Amino acid sequence: MSYVVLARKWRPLSFDDVVGQDHVTATLKKAIEKDRVAHAFIFSGTRGVGKTTTARILARALNCEKGPTPTPCGECSSCKEVLSGSSLDVLEIDGASNNSVDDIRELRENVGYSSMGGKYRIFVIDEVHMLSKSAFNALLKTLEEPPPRVIFIFATTEPQKIPATIHSRCQRYDFRRIVPEQILDRLIYICGKENIAFEKTALSLIATKADGSMRDALSLLDQVLSYCPEKIDERAARMVMGLVPREVYARVMDAVALRKPADVLVIVREVLLEGFELHEFVLGFEQHLRDLLFSRLSGALEGREFEEETIAALRSSAQRFSEGDLLRMMELVQRFERDLKRSVFPRFALELLLLKLVYLDSTVSLERVIALLGDEKEERPVSGTAAGAGMNTANVTPEKKKPELTLPGTPAETFEPIDEPASEAPFADRVSGETVGDAGSRWREFINYLMNERPNIGMFLSLAAVVGSTAASVELVYNSNLSYQYQEVTKKSAREEIEALLNRFMGAPVELHITLEPASGNGAGPATPSPSADSLSIENEISREPIIQSVIDVFDAEILR
């Protein structure tokens, strides 16, 4: 086959072509200009960052017929022989397969021969850390007293495995991982030269996936180009590289914003059915949250690789969350990504993470709390009129702060109230301007709504029986053996939240009366706890302190008796 892959075709031919390693190339160029070239080098760094390529450029620079020069011509016979790998003065040795002491002894014999026309004899040993201990020892004497015009270049991805005695006889250059922005610029340049149509977001995905390796980036570009030779777009790049589409993450954030736990579970199932790795899904979700956060920060997306419509979509989605919300989500996802590999049941772990995000409440600033305190002090909700003994009533506006909901195993301080946008609130279209009939006729529908919004409260409330209802009230009775459920739903915080959700669902104020049947069947009326004189006295005292009452209302505090 005559096709040459891009990683070989676009291998750098000069120091200036090497991407992201200016600290190395600039030093080598100065050393050549000043004739201060060392006799041994260690080039260390991760795969595909230019170690062997730089060694070949250095070899051409030293043996060029116009040199030594930091800019080899590439036209002379010496440069062409080095490029083709046929030079007798430049030997490349694979340390992984030539790692015995006998191989090094043979190398030592070759070192003594004079050059075959070049100015230097250069020995490049790739993956030098694979040499055996005895092979390193056999190399020590030659490194300490090398023959004139002999240079060793050792390339390695694991410099810590090279003995200190070798290190002390060499100059070490550490090649850095190439940042995605530099890889992206190089990919754009190559695509322009190759007349390849592309979307910038697709090349950005390749640059990020390459993880600092230019060679990996060019290999991925070749792979994607094979699938879509006409134009490289983001969707094709994601499919070839096994990355989850951006639309999936947008759906996750929609479910989080609208508090729809069932939707995130469906998304997890779809991701697995499509064959995506859960770890890749989490990494992509981290990146999506980062993009959402940056879209809320002024100037953070300037100069980025996104198309205009992508930026607009990110900003629209991010408006539903505060910067604090996105930061807390990112912290949860990053912690989960670290723990995922230790999970025995990774799918359930991911589902639990997404459910936590759905139920995650928004941060509230101190200024907002102070404002709420002031509002509560000036405009306190008026309690509803009790219909009878033991009937707990309260009218609460829909803007009332929601109580905490803590999932099992989740720190309580993680969850604070979130303000849902009115335009996206569930049932917003239904309740707007409707005339409500008998509230009891829609009670079962309201229970289903609660099961989605607040499953724990919905489960407790579903066990009560509707014994009476009008357009403005619903009467519930709990069986005597359901006293625990009765106590849970009649707590101050739970009762206020239930009535707020009920008013919102029905589209009008609806009073909720809840009673508990007596334990005995003697026909007595509904039983209610009889408060002590001390507790009544305390409540009376608090009722005369508006500031304390405001704090209790805002933070859903309870009086402990």
Residue 346, both tokens? 């990774």
Over residues 91-103, the mean pLDDT reads 87
pLDDT at 144: 86
Enumerate residues 6+ apart whose C-beta is below 8 A from 96.
126, 127, 130
| 3-state DSSP assignment of residue 60 | helix
Q: Tell me which amino acid residue 147 is.
A: P
* pTM score above 0.75: no
Q: Tell me which amino acid residue 41 is.
A: F
| 3-state DSSP assignment of residue 475 | strand
Over residues 156-176, the mean pLDDT reads 93
Q: Which domains does the chain have, with CATH numbers?
A: 6-174 (3.40.50.300), 180-241 (1.10.8.60), 247-359 (1.20.272.10), 384-554 (no CATH)
Q: What's the burial of 195, exposed, middle or buried (CB within 10 Å: 0-12/13-18/19+)?
A: exposed
pLDDT at 545: 59
- Whether the CA torsion 469, 473, 478, 482 is positive or negative: it is positive
Count of CB atoms situated within 10 Å of the CB of 186: 22
Cis check: omega of the bond before 245, within 30 degrees of 0: no
Of residues 234 and 112, the one with the higher pLDDT is 234
- 41-58 pLDDT, tens per residue? 999 999 999 999 999 999
- Residue 107 pLDDT > 60: yes
Question: What's the first-to-final CA gap in the chain, in angstroms?
Answer: 86
pLDDT at 434: 36
Q: For residue 191, what is the DSSP state? A: H
Over residues 334-342, the mean pLDDT reads 88
pLDDT band at 546 (very low <50, low <70, confident <90, very high): low
- 359-416 pLDDT, tens per residue? 886 555 555 556 656 655 555 454 443 333 333 333 334 444 444 444 444 444 443 4
The DSSP string of 87-142 is -SSEEEEETTTS-SHHHHHHHHHHHTSPPSSSS-EEEEEETGGGS-HHHHHHHHHH
pLDDT at 3: 83
Q: Out of 98-102, 327-331, 517-521, give the one with best mean pLDDT.
A: 327-331
pLDDT at 27: 95
Residue 407, both tokens? 């999932």
Q: What's the burial of 46, exposed, middle or buried (CB within 10 Å: 0-12/13-18/19+)?
A: middle
Whole-angstrom distance, CA of residue 270 vs CA of residue 254: 16
Q: Within 13 Å and on the Cβ side, how many CA atoms surround 368?
A: 10
Backbone angles phi, psi at 123, to 5 degrees: -115, 115
Count of CB atoms situated within 10 Å of the CB of 133: 9
Backbone angles phi, psi at 540, to 5 degrees: -65, -40
- 262-300 pLDDT, tens per residue? 999 999 999 999 888 899 899 999 989 998 998 888 777
Q: Tell me which amino acid residue 395 is.
A: N
- 446-459 pLDDT, tens per residue? 888 888 778 778 88
Q: Are 163 and 138 in contact (CB under 8 A)?
A: no
- Nearest 5 degrees, angle CA 408-CA 411-CA 416? 105
Lowest-confidence range among 9-13, 336-340, 351-355, 399-403? 399-403
pLDDT at 451: 80
